[in-house]
A and B are shown apart, each in its own frame.
Chain A
C-alpha cells in the first residue's frame, strides 16, 4: 500500500524523521517496505502490509499508529479513539439487511443540497500521492476517508433512487441469478445469486455490488444534489469470492477481504459526512445505522513469564508494560499478568502468542539472543529412506554418474494439473524415463566439452500413477560398445546394497535397458533394506564457486604428432596452450604409442568462445598457430 509521508505527518505534532528512517523503523518493527519514492515535496513508501494486519493497517491512520509505537511519538488525535455520534437519526432512508451474516452493519447517511465540483488542491494532491485519480469533491472525500481510516465508503446520487412516500429504501440482499448491473467502470456485470448487492428496494434494482463497486446509474455526477453515503461492513469471504468471480478487485474489496471491524463503519461515516459538508456544502438530514449484532469487546492476556519462555528473553514486567503502552493496547496489570482490552480494529490479537509478537517487535528482535538448542538425551533416529538414498548416490557418483533433476511435468501422464500458468506439459510424469532420455541426448552432444568418455546420469525423483506417488531411481547410460549398460549398473548397485534387486522388486522390461534408461521403484525397494543405526557421511561437494559456462557451441580438433623419446604429454600441452589462446577450453590426451625411439601423442582440443559462435576459420587460425608452435619445438605433426 502506498503511504504518503506528508499525509502521515498530519497525525503528529513532532516532525517525522526522513522517509528512509521511517522505512527502517517499519522494516524492523512492523512491515517490509517495497520501495521509497521521492515525488517533489512528498515521499511515498510502498508498505507491504501483512495479511494479519489488513484489518487495521491498510490506512494512513494504521501506519501512523505503528510509527507512533515504534518511534515513541504520540499522535495528535487518533480518529478511532474520539467520541463520535451519528446524529440525528432519519426516517427519510430505510435500510434492511436480508443477509445479516454477510453484512454485519450498514450505515446510510443522507445529505441534501451538496454542490459537486472539483476537489481542493490538498485533497487532489493527497489522493494523487497514493496513486489515485481525483474525480470530484464527494467521491474524493469518500476515497480519502478510506485511505485515511481503512473503511471503504460509497456515495449514491439520491436523485437517481426511487422515493416512495418521501422515503428511500435500501436493501442488502443476494443478487437474483442473471441480474445485470452497469458499474462505475462502465462495464456491465452479470451477477450470480451468491453475490451480495445493494439494491434500491422501490425500484427493485441493484445499485452496487456489495463491497466491490458501485453502480453507474446512481453514481455521483455534476448534477447530483442529494446523496446517500454508505459505510458498511461486508463479509470478507463473500467479497473475495465475488471480486474474484467478476475479476473486479478494487481498493474497497481488498480491504473487506482482509476483514474489518463493523465498529469502523461508524468512524468512516462520521469522517466522510463531515468532510463532504466541508467540501461540498449541503445539510446532513440524518443517519440510519442497521447493526443487528454488535461486535463483542475482546480481552487477551499474557504474562511476562510466557513472553520470556516463548522468546528466550529476560524481559521485565516494566518492559512488557512499556511495549503495550506504546502500542496503545489498554490493559490491566496484576503483577506479571497483563489483561489487554483489545482495540476493536485489532482483529489480529486473539491469543497470548499474538501479544508476544507485539511485544517482541516493539521491544526489538535484536534483543533476542542466539542460543543453541539443548542437547537431546536420546540418539537421533535415522530415516531409513534418506540413509539408503545417500548410499545409492554415493555408489553412482563413485562410478562416474551425475545426479540431475528433471521436471515432474510431462506431455503425458495419468494425472494432470488443472491450472498451469504456462499450460505446457500439464501432466504429472508417470516415469522418469522420458526426462532422462532427453537429458542423456542433450549431454552426449556436449561430451567432448565435458571430457566424458561415457555420459551416465541418474535422478531420484517422484512419479505418479492414477492412485499413487512413488520415489524412483532412474538411470541413463550412453550406449558404448563393451562399456557397462544400465542393467549392469543396477545389478552392481543391488550387490552394494546387499540385495539382488530382481528378487526384491520387479525390474523394468528389457526394452528399456536397450534404450539406455531404466528406473526402479525406491518406495518399494528401500523398505526391504536393513535399518541403519546411524547416518553415514552424506556425499558433498568441495566446489567453492560456480564458473559460468559459454552458451555458444564448441568446436573439436584433434592433433597428432611425433615427439622425441622422453617428451612428456605436459611438455606438448604447454606448447599447445601457449599458442592456442583463450579459445582453447579443454585439451585431452587420447592416444599414445612408441615406435622407433619416437613417441606419438594425439590430443583432442576443444575450442569455445564466451561471446560468439566460432567459425571454422576462427578455429583453423588457432590450429595454424598451434602447428607453428609445435613445429618450432621440433615436433613432427602427423
Chain B
C-alpha cells in the first residue's frame, strides 16, 4: 500500500507529544492521557503515543524539500502513567499510520484499515465501522470498530464489534505545525495499541505477558 516505516524518540518534548498535535498546555485534552514527566528536565515526557512521529516525519520531509504524498507507519513503545493489571500496561506498543496527499480522504482510511485487518486475520471477511470521537490532532475524529464474519473465524471473535483504534483526518493545525500546507494537502492518521491487537489475534488473556520476557509465552510465537 506504499507505507514505509518510521521511528522517533521515546523521550519526547512536550511540543511534539502535545503542542504540535494541537493539545495546548492546560487544555483538558491533556487529561486524556496520564503522562510520565522527567525529573529536572522541563518539557520532557515519555511519549504517550506514537503520534509525535507524524510531526517529526513531515517536518523532516519538508525540510528536505520533499512534498507529499507521505505514507508511513510507526510501530513503537509508548507509556502511560497508570497502575498495571490484566488489561493495562504502563509500557506498551502502538502503531501509528499516516497518509498525506492532495487527494487523501476518510474513505481511504476505511479502505486502508479494512485491507490491513483482513490481512492480519489471514484473509477473514472484515467489516469496519466508524463512530464519532475526539482527538485534538484529527478533525473529523473517529473511533474505529472491526468485526470478523465467516465460519473460519474463532468463536470468541465472530460477528462481534471490537473497538480497535482512534483515527481521523489530520487536523490542519498539525499539518501547519509540521510545515505542510493544509490548503493543498490533507491526510488521515490512525493509532492503535499493538498489544491489544495481538491479544485479540492470538487470544492472549493478559497484556503483561507481552512484556514478561517469559519464554513460556514468548516461545509460542
Contact = CB atoms under 8 A, between A and B. Distances in A.
A361 B104 contact: no
Contacts of A416: 38-39
B108 interface: yes
B82 A421 contact: yes
A353 B213 contact: no
A356 B105 CA distance: 12
Nearest to A435: B213
Interface in A401-446: 402-409, 415-422, 428, 435, 438-439, 442-443, 446
Contacts of B71: 373, 376, 380
A184 to B, nearest CB: 24
B15 interface: no
Contacts of A549: 216-217
B39 A418 contact: yes
B9 A469 contact: yes
A541 B204 CA distance: 15
Contacts of A380: 2-4, 71
B151 interface: no
B107 A361 contact: no
Interface in B41-75: 41, 46, 69, 71
A241 B26 CA distance: 8
B18 to A, nearest CB: 13
Contact of B7 (A386, A409, A438, A449): A386
Contact of B221 (A50, A357, A459, A541): A541
Given A351-B139, A383-B7, A310 B111 contact: no
Interface string B83-100: 110000011000000010
Interface string B1-42: 111111101110000000000000011110010101111010
B34 A353 contact: no
B219 A402 contact: yes
B217 A51 contact: no
B39 A450 contact: no
Interface in A226-270: 236-237, 240-241, 257-258
Given A417-B39, A450-B215, A370 B221 contact: no
Contacts of A30: 132
B131 A27 contact: yes
B38 A417 contact: yes
A461 B91 CA distance: 12
A29 B172 CA distance: 23
A485 interface: no
Most chain A CB atoms below 10 A, which of B139, B142, B210: B139
A312 interface: yes
Contacts of A53: 134
Contact of B172 (A351, A361, A373, A403): A351
A543 B221 contact: yes
Contacts of B216: 446, 449-450, 549
B83 A422 contact: yes
A203 to B, nearest CB: 32
Contact of B128 (A351, A370, A382, A452): A370
Interface in A260-286: none
Most chain B CB atoms below 10 A, which of A312, A360, A438, A439: A312
Nearest to A362: B132
Given A310-B186, A311-B106, A365-B130, A382 B4 contact: yes
A52 interface: yes
Contact of B26 (A237, A450, A455, A457): A237
Contacts of A386: 5, 7
A236 B140 CA distance: 24
A371 B107 contact: yes
Interface string B160-183: 000000000101100000000000
Interface string B133-162: 110100111110000000000100000000
B124 to A, nearest CB: 12
A612 interface: no
A54 B28 contact: yes
Contacts of A313: 107
A125 interface: no
B172 A310 contact: no
A450 B216 CA distance: 7
A407 B82 CA distance: 14
Contacts of B154: 545
B83 to A, nearest CB: 6
A456 to B, nearest CB: 10
Contacts of B136: 51-52
Contact of A32 (B131, B213, B217): B131
A246 to B, nearest CB: 16
B202 A545 contact: yes
B160 to A, nearest CB: 16
B108 A312 contact: yes
Contact of A369 (B3, B110, B142, B221): B110
Given A241-B26, A365-B132, A408 B91 contact: yes
A462 B77 contact: yes
A368 B132 contact: no
B107 A369 contact: yes
A354 interface: yes
B35 to A, nearest CB: 8
Nearest to B34: A421
B203 A545 contact: yes
Interface of A: 27-32, 50-54, 236-237, 240-241, 257-258, 309-313, 351, 353-354, 356-357, 360-361, 365-366, 368-376, 380-383, 385-386, 402-409, 415-422, 428, 435, 438-439, 442-443, 446, 449-450, 452, 455, 457, 459, 461-462, 464, 469, 541, 543-549
The 10 closest A-B pairs by CB, nearest first: A312-B107, A312-B105, A357-B140, A50-B134, A365-B130, A404-B213, A439-B213, A386-B5, A370-B110, A383-B5
Given A30-B132, A366-B130, 18 more contacts: A32-B133, A310-B140, A312-B108, A357-B140, A369-B107, A371-B108, A371-B110, A373-B2, A402-B215, A403-B218, A407-B91, A415-B11, A418-B38, A422-B90, A435-B213, A439-B213, A462-B10, A547-B220
15 contacts: A28-B131, A353-B139, A361-B140, A368-B107, A383-B7, A403-B218, A406-B213, A418-B39, A422-B84, A443-B214, A450-B216, A452-B215, A457-B213, A541-B221, A546-B221
Interface of B: 1-7, 9-11, 26-29, 32, 34, 36-39, 41, 46, 69, 71, 77, 79, 81-84, 90-91, 99, 103-108, 110-112, 114-115, 128-134, 136, 139-143, 154, 169, 171-172, 186, 202-205, 210-211, 213-221
